[in-house]
Structure 1
């Protein structure tokens, strides 16, 4: 399907703090629209990027953004590693792969994944073999957190703390360190996911890509593992810990379970992003391995309020979009609801990893696509 609109996302080059061969716009991993505010992140950074949506052009076919502001996660959260390693270009990335909002907090998740080094074109066989044996963890990837969000002068912004005594809201993250957190500790002996915690994400290992708010719970979409073709969503609840700035897992049901597991038949694809649409859940599905496509958007009717541990077969899910992708470029990675200027047509804005040169404009602008979102399919009585 081809996009009907585009959004030009403009970043300030002076705030581009990645390595010399990577730009902020080059690897967008997530997007979230709130009014005229759009939140974005690059998967190799430790910051969130905010831009402001301007009016559409006269034809209603494109929109523009301005006022790029960068929010460094270390200003709000006590991440286990500093922003940079031994050199300025050695970034201790958070690999932010999901954003969601409950009107009080911006919730965010890192991938929680390991990564394997990749051989370079000029490597000999011995060096290439050595790289493929090298598996490491970026400690800031074990991030599951919230940051208070407030409205100022018609735009949304982040604060470390706000509110009065008794109703105070503060930034906090799930208890853990550079080796893992309470969630990975809980999954260590899990019959489904425990064996995959030590496998890199792009090898069908454990890899969170997507977060959505489901009432008082959170839904975490897994790019991997995909189990015999079945993708998974984890449902958890987080509450304040006794230690300031920390959260802990809480029961998700009356029996005291700390985790619910939802399995979905996405035709062998993993989950690349989640987006709540009222009571429904939109799922961006793509390859769990390092492949170009296919990429589809599914609607799980009632998925934003699951209430149990369903196993969703293919015929219980609606495939609402099939997205274009490139060869080695333009991998759909993040999505957010996006209404037209008149507010009548609901759509999805999609951002891409490995953006193609044709998507890049000037020194600091990137093109995001907007696709019309089909209406919910009518169902007969069960």
Structure 2
């Protein structure tokens, strides 16, 4: 499980691997949220068929749901069953694989029951390849500080695309802010997460919550920040009211050592806290793929 969002009385979940009999179906699944907090599978929507989309982010505003692939490259893992020479060759440049099937952002219009009414798609690959800051990381595998989209949130029609990588010098992490209708008219914002990348974003009334975690396969902890949605890069010509502000809210403890916090959704906003659900990839106990969390508000 790699993404989660709330739509009316449903949770929408997505996976970073394709499913189906032939392994060529990229679906999002709708779960009904019961009064006791449990979730039951309701239905699913086929987002796209073919190679793996690598779904990493889902967000919802009104009757529109957005689903994004990682737009990343990959390198094969070292495996003990291969010989020494084969494993060493995985580090060669010609072993890096571009996965064009991952280069899509989908927009789905839903009815009240969470059924698909219409679907469109765009790619952010051209924007990334031509951006002065991001283009240098396009040929680098995602888990090695290359381009890797994992967070997605929408606020007042503005999409915010969060990157797990790259993480720039001084630990700045990019967030791509754009509108669906004019994606080329984008803005690149930066946040600092202590060397971590963005694992997911979620919209709240006064900004966003950021789920932060390791860029690669490191052992950094998972943290949740509140962000006011503004760029955090300083400058002597910037007014205090224009500055981005981040507040560390706390750390998230995965259910086991193999679990990776990948998705974040807001179930409820309260005066003193947010009621959240965290989605985990790789949890040994399948009953712990989703975790309800209450996190207190703090002043920036």
Contact 1:292/1:327 (CA < 8 Å) preserved in 2? no
Partner of 2:77: 118
Matches within 5 A, 1:1-382: 28-45=1-18, 46-56=26-36, 63-74=37-48, 82-83=49-50, 92-133=51-92, 134-152=95-113, 156-160=114-118, 171-174=119-122, 181=123, 183-228=124-169, 229-239=171-181, 249-250=183-184, 258-301=185-228, 303=229, 306=230, 309-311=231-233, 316-325=245-254, 329-339=258-268, 346-355=274-283, 357=284, 359-360=285-286, 365-377=287-299
Deviation at 1:126, TM superposition (A): 0.9
Residue 183 of structure 2: SS of its match in structure 1? strand
Cα distance in 2, alignment partners of residues 343 and 310 from structure 1: 26
Q: Which moved more, 1:314-323 or 1:137-146?
A: 314-323
Deviation at 1:184, TM superposition (A): 2.2
Q: CA RMSD in A?
A: 2.5
Cα distance in 2, alignment partners of residues 196 and 345 from structure 1: 37
Contact 1:118/1:132 (CA < 8 Å) preserved in 2? no
The alignment's TM-score, normalised by the length of structure 1, stands at: 0.69
Contact 1:292/1:331 (CA < 8 Å) preserved in 2? no
After superposition, give the CA deviation of every residue in 1:177-220 in whole Å (9 maximum; x if it has no partner). xxxx4x32233232211110111110100011111113222110
Structure of higher CA gyration radius: 1
Deviation at 1:137, TM superposition (A): 2.3
**How has the CA–CA distance of structure 1 residues 109 and 285 changed in structure 2, closer, same or farther, with 3 Å as cutoff?**
same
Higher relative contact order (CA 8 A, sep 6+): 1
Deviation at 1:327, TM superposition (A): 7.0
Q: Could you list the runs of 5+ residues in structure 2 that have no partner in the other structure?
A: 19-25, 236-242
Contact 2:272/2:297 (CA < 8 Å) preserved in 1? no
The alignment's TM-score, normalised by the length of structure 2, stands at: 0.87
Cα distance in 2, alignment partners of residues 296 and 366 from structure 1: 18
